[in-house]
Amino acid sequence: MKSWPLMAVLVLGVILVGSAACNPFGQKQQEEQQVARVVRGDLTVTVSGSGSINAMQEAKLSFGTGGKIDRIYVKEGDTVSTGAALARLDTASLELALARANIAREQAELAIVQANVALEQVRVAQDQAGTAVAQANIARDQADFNLSQLKKAAATPSEQIHIAEAQLEVARSQVSNAEAQFGIAGLQLEPATLQLNVARTQLKLAEQNVSLSQQQLDEATMVAPFDGVVGRVSAREKDNVLPNVAVIHLIDPARLELKIQVDEIDITMIEAGQKALIEVDALSARQLQGKVISVGLLPIQAAGIVIYDVKIEFEMPVGQGLRAGMSATADIVVAERENALLVPDRAVIRDNIGKTAVEAVVNGQVEQRPVVTGISDGSQTEILSGLEEGETIVERRTQQRPLGPLFQ
């Protein structure tokens, strides 16, 4: 941890006391001590970490399809806007593929028209066959009726009856023929419908091929996905490149972030929104203001130490030449107190069960007094109760940590 301390402790003097006279722990050695007053002041506790500056928005751009680079429109350091063309492949073969795909789509559209016409013809033939069946049934019924009437008449010549019987047979034959034609039309309906469905499927495939060819042609031109600066160009015109191989590295230098590493002991004190003070190695004369935007959830093992990534955004200084990749250190403010009671951290005695005390000087005598402590920056400690402003306390050169509990 690190602090931005306020010089809040007034040292009154240095005294030598015998261990038998005032050492509450029965130590036999003589120990140098100094006394100080309890004062009020501000206290800031920070967690430090170092890392490098990165662009919050960057992209390693590649072509979606392989080929020969025809043109590169930018160079390193160029400023570009969203949608600006950066590079382009030779598109002759891609344009030919798109033209062929469009022809195939037009042929598929024509096949659908033809299949619709054929299906409609089958439906018309089926309707006509159905009408012929109905008419043949009427003619048969009429012939049957005529024959029955002739047979009822007593004076009907036998020749007329033979003619009527022949007409009935013809009508029955016509019914059979009409029903057969209707059946044939019904059989033709299913393959005609199937042919239409096949034509529709072929059209979908042709349209997909057109879309794919158009996409490949579009991807042959590399465009900027955001406003930024060209950081690196990794190819030259006439080079053959593979799909998804980075050609241009684009960054947004106006939005930078610092990523630092914090060890597992301190990471629990850090959360998004905490402010941070940043010192960039290349800008030693300037301190930047920032805030934590994310705290890593997954640990990183480094030389046997567990660390976590912490990302900090900060105000971009104008005209300072700040660049991605620069090293920096951040002090994250994890706790602050204003006008708090403060004592030197070495004045606080802690036992092995967590109780705390100080040695107060009252009327020239040293007495052990229990206190409740707050935050500490390792140099000064906040006192929540047990002391008053202006009281005198003992500060030891080394912090005593008794083995037994205090205040039994």
Residue 146: give its domain's CATH number: 1.10.287.620
**246: pLDDT strictly greater than 80:** yes
* Residues 387, 280 share a domain: yes
Do 243 and 120 lie in a common domain? no
Is there a domain that residue 196 lies in? yes
Instruction: Judge if 356 and 213 occupy the same domain.
Output: no
> What's the pLDDT at 405?
55
pLDDT band at 297 (very low <50, low <70, confident <90, very high): very high
Q: Count of domains in the chain?
A: 3
Kindly tell me if the per-residue pLDDT of 17 is higher than 60. Answer: no
Query: How does pLDDT run across 133-165, given as a tens digit for each residue?
Result: 888 788 888 878 877 877 777 666 778 778 877
Is 390's pLDDT higher than 50?
yes
52 and 21 together in one domain: yes
Residue 1: predicted pLDDT? 52
Residue 24 pLDDT exceeds 70: no
Residue 407 DSSP SS3: coil
Residue 329: inside a domain: yes
Using the CB atoms, write b or e for 7-42: b if 16+ within 10 Å: ebbeeeeeeeeeeeebbeeeeeeeeebbbbbbbebe
The verdict on 112 and 260 lying in the same domain is no
Query: To the nearest whole percent, how much of the chain has pLDDT over 70?
Result: 88
Confidence of residue 340 (pLDDT cuts 50, 70, 90): very high
Residue 8 has pLDDT above 60, yes or no: no
Q: Are residues 260 and 392 in the same domain?
A: yes
Q: What is the pLDDT of residues 373-385, one digit of tens each?
A: 999 998 999 999 9
For residue 204, CA distances in Å to 101, 184, 195, 198 come to 12, 31, 14, 10
The boundaries of the domain holding residue 146 are 93-219
Q: Do 34 and 154 reside in the same domain of the chain?
A: no
Please write the tens of the pLDDT for every residue from 41-84. Answer: 999 999 999 999 998 899 999 998 889 999 999 999 999 999 99
In a domain, 405, yes or no: no
Asked, for residue 351, whether it belongs to a domain, the answer is: yes
Per the CB < 8 A criterion, the answer to whether 11 and 36 are in contact is yes
Judge if 164 and 153 occupy the same domain. yes
247 has a pLDDT exceeding 70: yes
DSSP letter for each residue of 172-221: HHHHHHHHHHHHHHHHHHHHHHHHHHHHHHHHHHHHHHHHHHHHHHHHTE
Does residue 5 fall inside a structural domain?
no
Residue 168 has pLDDT above 80, yes or no: no
- Kindly report, residue by residue over 172-207, the tens digit of the pLDDT: 888 888 788 887 777 778 888 888 999 999 999 999
Mean pLDDT of the chain: 85
Q: Do 307 and 352 belong to one domain?
A: yes
Q: Tell whether 71 and 87 lie within a shared domain.
A: yes
| pTM, 2 dp | 0.59
Read off the pLDDT band of 403 (50, 70, 90): very low
Domain endpoint, select from 203, 219, 235: 219
Q: What is the distance between the alpha carbons of residues 295 and 260, in angstroms, rounded to a whole number? A: 10
CATH number of the domain bearing residue 269: 2.40.30.170
- How confident is residue 9, by pLDDT bands cut at 50, 70 and 90? very low
Q: Same structural domain for residues 267 and 384?
A: yes
- Are residues 302 and 377 located together in one domain of the fold? yes
Least confident of 102-106, 366-370, 381-385, 403-407: 403-407
The pLDDT of residue 15 is 37
The verdict on residue 124 lying in a domain is yes
